[in-house]
Amino acid sequence: MDRRTALKAILASSVAPGFIPARGGAAQVQPQDCGSQCFSVVSVMQFGAKGDGIKDDLPAFRAAHDALGAAGGVLTGPQRTYRLDGTLTISNPVTIDFFNTTVTPYSGHGAILRSKENAPILEYTGIWTRFVGLRNINLVGVADGSAKSQDGVVVNNGAATPRLVAGALRMSNVSIFNTGRHGLHVLNSYAGSYDNIYIQSCAHSGVLIDVHCGANLWRGISTVANSSTGFNVASADGSDTVVGLTSEQNQYGIVLDAGVSGWEFIGTHTEANSKSPLLFKEKSDNNRVDFTSRGGGAEPAPVNHGGARNHWADQHA
């Protein structure tokens, strides 16, 4: 059975190919002898999810994740609204993919993970033996002051010292809205990729790059109307390339903190950031931001409090 046929079958039925019902109606992974092309796919509906936005579906998501186990696989389901009363922690090499969801910008359609809890919605932990994915999903939190520790997605590979890992997160076609703190919080993470991500109306930063991060690739990121910074780099022990960033209606479009060096932003658009499109903080140095456009909405000029090798340029000039 090819990949497309398998996915259609699992979404159309309560028991997917490759699974057998256990006593009590739960689903179990049934091992298959199909060589290196074999992968397991589970639907959260097999584990009791309702997808009505009312019932807590976190137990079903956790059960689906645990059923895939250390071998990993794909976790999916119908395009519905799933309420999560707590954090869904991904510690196995599990790819979450709600196929064909349109997420940028969020329109209330497609697959939605919704949470009002004072905790991350999704958290990736541990060190994996291969890449995992997060694709085609909307995450919606609450930015009313009641969930000040709520991040949309936390990526933490857990390395105490900087090092490359065998597996990293591939995140694409994801939107994050209204979280109580950061939209995307990345720390202890190397060699990941973040592509076509839309983050809006979070109570702090849209993206926060924290300690021990580097060799990640960023493409097509949009951060809009977040209360503090659109894209904040706080990690001083790695450097990444960011292509096609749009940062609008924040206080700061981009902030590079003390000690940050070697970051490069290519094809950047900023508009209507109230304090500055770009802030190089003290002791940051050797970073470059190339703007395709900036300054709309009476936006102030970039500010450099760091080293002389920090550089910004208007490509259209």
Terminal C-alpha separation, the chain: 55
What's the mean per-residue pLDDT of the chain?
Answer: 85
Backbone phi, then psi, for 69, in 5-degree steps?
A: 65, -165
- Bigger pLDDT: 21 vs 72: 72
Query: Minimum mean pLDDT among 29-38, 41-50, 145-154, 252-261: which range?
Result: 29-38
- Bigger pLDDT: 70 vs 31: 70
Sheet of strand 276-280, all strands in order from the earlier edge strand to the far edge: 88-90, 122-125, 153-156, 184-187, 207-209, 229-233, 252-256, 276-280, 303-304
Say what the pLDDT of residue 36 is: 45
Residue 34 pLDDT more than 50?
A: no
Residue 237: band (very low, low, confident or very high) from pLDDT cuts 50, 70, 90: confident
CB 208 within 8 A of CB 231: no
Instruction: Measure Cα distances from 199 to 43, 54, 105, 224, 226 in Å.
Output: 26, 24, 9, 6, 8
Say what the pLDDT of residue 211 is: 83
Average the pLDDT over 258-285 and give the result.
97
Give residue-wise pLDDT tens across range 131-162.
789 999 999 999 888 999 999 999 987 655 44
Residue 125: band (very low, low, confident or very high) from pLDDT cuts 50, 70, 90: confident
Say what the pLDDT of residue 100 is: 75
Residue 62 pLDDT more than 90?
A: yes
> What pTM value is reported for the model?
0.87
Residue 167: band (very low, low, confident or very high) from pLDDT cuts 50, 70, 90: low
Say what the pLDDT of residue 38 is: 53
The whole-angstrom distance between residue 94's C-alpha and the CA centroid of its chain comes to 14
- The string of DSSP letters for 146-204 reads S-TT--SEEEE---SS----S--EEEEEEEEES-SS-SEEEESEES-EEEEEEEE--SS
Average the pLDDT over 242-262 and give the result.
97
Average the pLDDT over 57-64 and give the result.
98
Residue 7 pLDDT more than 90?
A: no
Say what the pLDDT of residue 26 is: 44
- Bigger pLDDT: 87 vs 298: 87
Give the pair of three-digit tokens for residue 52.
Answer: 């009505």
